[in-house]
Structure 1
Amino acid sequence: MEDWVFFLLSITLCIALKILLSKLANTTHKKPNLPPGPRFIPILSPLQWFRLTLFDIEPVLRSLRTKYGPIFTLHFTSSPTIFIADRKLAHQALVQAGAAFADRPPATESGRLLSSNRHNISSAPYGPLWRLLRRNLNAEIIHPSRLKLFAPVRRWVLRILVSKLKAEAEAGGGVVAVMESFRYAIFRLLFLMCFGEKLDEKATDDIQATMRHLLSSLAKFNVFAFLPKVTKIVFRERWNLLLVLHKRREEQFVPLIRARRERKQQQQQHGEGSFAYAYVDSLLDLRLPEEGGRQLSECELVSLCSEFLAGGTDTTTTALQWIMANLVKHPGAQKKLWEEIEATVGSDAEEIVEEDLQRMPYLKAVILEGLRRHPPAHFVVPHAVTEDVTLNGYLIPKGAAINVTTAEIGWDGKVWEEPMEFKPERFLAGGSGEGVDITGSKEIKMMPFGVGRRICPGLGLAMLHLEYFVANLVRDFEWKAVEGEVDLSEKLDLTVVMKNPLRARILPRRNE
């Protein structure tokens, strides 16, 4: 009997001890919580945030950062969205833990349609398809050796741009409104790089108009991320508009792709005529090993070509306008740049070429300061995590969307003195931005192209185009304010643009 009682007591004590140790372990190794943020209320919380655009939400995010700290959570849907508003935390996440943070959130209904079910670089999940598409772009088109081959195209587009500006100035008493001319020139440049062909002005305008209409409507299509089966019925006209624009894009792009395929085959078989290699040519040769080694479909080719054009046109155009606006607003900086140009190439050169750009440190400083002060996008394209991760003591759950406040990081007063002022000198010797690495590999001081594994692959291309056009535009013209101060107020378009587009008085510097 005593043995039986002893046995029961022993079992009871063991069970109690196990429970106690389990509780202690749970207390000691308690799973971290999500970053703090406003309380999530099903249905109501998503509706609250969907009423705001990313531009409208910036003041809200600043107040949330003040209240909750540099990392906080919002619920646009039932899945959490984490905002990171600190350069060091951004580096820990996107660079140090880059593989875990390199995915993309699930695509919306409209996103899947426009990207051919995520078969493009920006929206593809982190994995073999994304690596294949990105590697192809880097190696075949934007590698420095390839970019040199497009020098004649850049020269041709520069002549078009200068002619348009001169014609507008003559018609407007020396005054030009530059945004449309900038956009037209950059689009034609990228179109030639993409398809290797020159279209007439009307055909170019038609394609650009379709893309502008589609991209400017994207904010309207965000509603389909919320209860898509319902919203596609409630907002039937929006969904029909998306289908119409998607079809129109295919009707414009598919004939170009087919013609290019045929011309490439003729060149390979017979060596007929001249053939300038283009982005679409590299895509025609691709095979998808993870999908049975098949070729890209025509719809997927349309999505990739559209991504190439859209990804480079508005961002570069916007950055170019901001930089020129600041050179108008700060004539001392423009004079200093002009003097560097004269000292580097003299007054007889027909144009400033790529080799000349490498010898202009102040030009590079102007470009970097423009990108720091006015990044075309104020947030990186959302990331998603591939596994549960702990960041700054908080849980970042698998699948959570990650947003990083690009603009706020570039305006950090702890890094930059008078961060809201335009001071290119900060990037020269002795300045706080001397030797800054905009890829953020070692540390992040500014990140206009993002950082980490999902950094914009077109970084080098964008920097080349900005340096090339700014240098040549300052060489050809003196840029002056039309009246009063240049207004640097912002608004959200496809990118964050000037609320009142730049108008300037241009005076030719050279006698033709």
Structure 2
Amino acid sequence: MFLTFFDISNSIFFFTVVTILVSGLVYTLTHLSHKSKLVNLPPGPQGWPVVGNLFQFARSGKQFFEYVDEMRKIYGSILTLRLGIRTMIIISDANLAHQALIERGAQFATRPAETPTRKIFSSSDITVHSALYGPVWRSLRRNMVQNMLSSNRLKDFGSVRKSAIDKLVERIKSEAKEHDGLVYVLRNARFAAFCILLDMCFGIEMEEESIEKMDQMMTAILIAVDPRIHDYLPILTPFYFKERKRALKLRRELVEFVVGFIEKRRSAIQNPGSDITASSFAYLDTLFDLRVDGRETTPSDEDLVTLCSEFLNAGTDTTGTAIEWGIAELISNPKIQSRLYDEIKLTVGDNRTVEEKDVDKMVFLQAFVKELLRRHPPTFFTLTHGVTEPTNLSGYDIPVGANVEFYLPGMSQDPKIWSNPDKFDPDRFITGGEDADLTGVAGVKMMPFGIGRRICPGLGMAIVHVELMLARMVQEFEWSTYPAESQVDFTGRLVFAVVMKNPLRAMVKARV
């Protein structure tokens, strides 16, 4: 996540204070600037002392990804932006991504320091996504992959997915009945994804009120950890004491709420056959007695809350937004929607619903989802990388502590890689002779889940969820625009994931 223009605009008056405070440090800054010339960073726009390129970004009025897209057209596929104390090296070239993350994966496998606000919610030494590269991260990731996200384990949660998607269909029917066929796509899709992950994580039955409260709290956390201006200019931290106080309060409330469900799961394990309705297995089961390399104790309750939070947050909005973009493309391309529906009917017939075993046979569905991930990646940037030691890439120095960002549309929409990249065309993966290894091992063409050692461990699960949800939604409903004959607005904005700027409301008609 990146600093928003809104946050800069509301803090712009602080810049004057900063400029005055640092005016007495001109000599020191000049000396440091002269010394920094010894480091050959990638090119980028000239910034101001201390604030770097924050002024240029603020004045542009653009979202961060739009500003990056503009800068890369000027400075090339590897460039430098300075946002306050942070040096961002932004890469948008597929070959450079492969060199960094595959060929030299260990060097680019760590994370830079957490922002002060984010540290409130997740210590960097007890999370999978932000842990520094080393034994703690390896222990946590190995546990998640082997015990939760292996192909065999994912099959064990088939009934969980079926139940959640059945409820998704019923929610859509109910909403359509109340609103003359009109439904919000994202809201329903992300709720279904959240329910699946909740069951996988806690393994206990929850009332809908608790599910909605958990969802609201997780969303509030994502908003709270979105970087603020003081994360880039620490001198402004005193001005943000109220925000810090609110973040600490939110963390306490989250821990108190989630620990209650952790205790229910612990009780269910210790007392088989009790009154608690519980699944036979859950992510929490793998964490209670986990011995993490480098730590003498098992995870505390606060650690468990952090690990559960990242498990839920990582797969909810990304899946929900993928479904929203997918339905938008189906609406805009009626022939593609009809073709997908025909494949579903051909595969399962008219008398039963799509099952997971059917998805493996649906070539067009798989091509559709791959094209969806190419054209609409869940986010425009991978999680930030850092280097474990000073190194270089493409002739430029990459210092320790720099934020190494990979801009995904620069690869997935590169005309040197893809024919007619702006066109949504699933057939490019069937008859067009184009393909892409999502792991990046065989070469990078797109990397919606990242690649290399820090590739998203939930890649396989995410694809299963998106394919199955889309298949059921197309099998059950015919989708069209609202108002009729209108055009879908494909403008996106980067929040936690890349969402549609105008949330998609679609008309649905139950299939006969």
Work out whether the TM-score is over 0.5.
yes
Query: In the TM superposition, what is the alpha-carbon distance from 1:337 to its structure 2 partner?
Result: 0.6
Tell which structure's C-alpha radius of gyration is larger: 1
CA distance in 2, matches of 1:285, 1:327: 46
| CA RMSD across the alignment | 2.2
Alpha-carbon distance in structure 2 between the residues aligned to 1:54 and 1:467: 36
Partner deviation per Cα, 1:153-176 (whole Å, 9 max, x = no partner): 111111111111101111111121
Contact 1:55 1:492 in 2 (8 A): no
Deviation at 1:223, TM superposition (A): 2.9
Equivalent residue in structure 2 for 1:217, among 212, 224, 241: 224
SS of 2:271's partner is: helix
Q: Residues 23-46 of structure 1: CA distance to partner in whole angstroms, max 9, x if unpaired?
A: xxxxxxx97711112234332316
Are residues 504 and 51 of structure 1, via their aligned partners in 2, closer, same or farther at CA, if it must alter by over 3 Å? same
Say whether the 8 Å CA contact 2:101–2:451 is kept in structure 1: yes
Asked if the contact 2:63/2:493 (under 8 Å) is kept, the reply is: no
AA of the residue aligned to 2:255? E
**1:251 and 2:256 are equivalent in the alignment:** yes
Q: Does 1:290 align with 2:294?
A: yes
Counterpart-to-counterpart distance in 2, 1:53 and 1:90: 27
Residues of 1 paired with 2:295 and 2:141: CA distance? 17
- The answer to whether structure 1 residue 426 and structure 2 residue 428 are counterparts is yes
Task: Determine if the alignment matches structure 1 residue 60 to structure 2 residue 67.
Answer: yes
CA deviation profile, 1:369-419 (whole Å, cap 9, x unmatched): 111111120011110001121211111122322001012211111111221
Contact 1:194 1:305 in 2 (8 A): yes
1:212/1:72 CA distance change after superposition, 3 Å: same
**1:50–1:140 distance in 2 versus 1, CA, 3 Å:** farther
Q: 2:266 aligns with which of 261, 264, 270?
A: 261
Instruction: Name the TM-score, length of structure 2 as normaliser.
Output: 0.88
Match of 1:326 in 2: 329
Whether the aligned pair in 2 keeps the contact of 1:108 and 1:224 (CA below 8 Å) is: no
Match of 2:456 in 1: 456
The one-letter code sitting in structure 2 at the alignment partner of 1:465 is H
Q: Cα distance, 1:85 vs. partner?
A: 1.3
**Partner of 2:441: helix, strand, or coil?**
coil
The equivalences for 1:62-211 within 5 A come to 62-211=69-218
Counterpart residue type for residue 342 of structure 1? K
Distance in 2 (alpha carbons) for counterparts of 1:495 and 1:67 = 26
**Amino acid paired to 2:228:** N
C-alpha separation in 2, matches of 1:437 and 1:461: 16
Q: Distance in 2 between matches of 1:173 and 1:35?
A: 55
| 1:390 matches 2:396 | no
Q: Cα–Cα, structure 1 residues 295 and 50, in superposed 2: closer, same or farther, change >3 Å?
A: farther
Show the counterpart of 1:358. 360
Match of 2:245 in 1: 240
Q: Answer whether contact 2:43 2:79 (CA < 8 A) is retained.
A: yes
Distance 1:49 1:108 in 2: 22
Equivalent in 302, 305, 308 of residue 305 of structure 2: 302
What letter matches 2:322 in structure 1? A
Unmatched 5+ stretches in structure 2: 1-36
**Whole-Å separation in 1 of the counterparts to 2:341 and 2:256:** 45
SS of residue paired to 2:281: coil
Deviation at 1:499?
1.3
Contact map agreement 1:179 1:501 (CA 8 A) in 2? yes
Q: Is the 8 A contact 2:476 2:511 kept in 1?
A: yes
How far does the alpha carbon of each residue in 1:69-111 deviate from its partner, in whole angstroms, 9 at most, with x for none? 2111112244522111111111111111110000000111112
TM-superposed CA distance for 1:145, in Å, is: 0.6
Instruction: Write the letter of the residue equivalent to 2:382.
Output: V
> Which amino acid in 2 is paired with 1:477?
F
CA–CA separation in structure 2 for the residues paired with 1:204 and 1:273: 15
Deviations 1:318-361 (A, max 9, x none): 01110011011101001111111111111112x21221111011
Q: Does the aligned pair in 2 maintain the 1:489–1:499 contact within 8 Å?
A: yes
Q: Call closer, same or farther: CA 1:190–1:53 in 2, change over 3 Å.
A: farther
Q: Secondary structure at the match of 2:63?
A: helix
Query: CA–CA distance in 1 between the matches of 2:282 and 2:59?
Result: 39
* Separation in 2, partners of 1:198, 1:189: 12
Residue type at the aligned position of 2:294 = E
Residues 106-158 of structure 1 show CA distances to partners (whole Å, capped at 9, x for unaligned) of 11111222113441011000011111111111111111111111111111111
In 1, Cα distance between equivalents of 2:267 and 2:55: 51
Q: Which residue identity is paired with 2:444?
A: I
Which residue, out of 345, 348, 360, partners 1:345? 348
Contact 2:322 2:378 in 1 (8 A): yes
Select 1:381's aligned residue among 363, 380, 383: 383
2: CA distance between counterparts of 1:335 and 1:476?
13
Shift of 1:51: 4.6
Partner of 1:437: 437
Uncovered stretches (5+) of structure 1, i.e. residues with no partner: 1-29
TM-score, normalising length: structure 1 = 0.88
Amino acid in structure 2 at the alignment position of 1:409: M
The residue aligned with 2:33 is none
Mean Cα deviation higher: 86-95 or 112-121: 112-121
- Counterpart CA distance in 1 for 2:138 and 2:225 is 26
Residues 229-272 of structure 1, C-alpha deviation per residue, up to 9 Å, x if partnerless? x434211221112112111111111111122122212239x999
Is 1:413 the counterpart of 2:415? The answer is yes
Aligned counterpart, 2:470: 470
Structure 1 residues 54 and 475: alpha-carbon distance in aligned structure 2, compared to 1, 3 A threshold? farther
What CA distance in whole angstroms lies between the structure 2 residues aligned with 1:89 and 1:439? 15
**Structure 1 residues 479-504: Cα deviation after superposition (integer angstroms, max 9, x where no partner):** 12222111111122221111111122
* Structure 2 counterpart of 1:403, one-letter code: E
In the alignment, which residue of structure 1 is the partner of 2:339? Answer: 336
Whether the 8 Å contact between 1:32 and 1:393 is mirrored in structure 2 is no
Q: Aligned residue pairs: how many?
A: 474
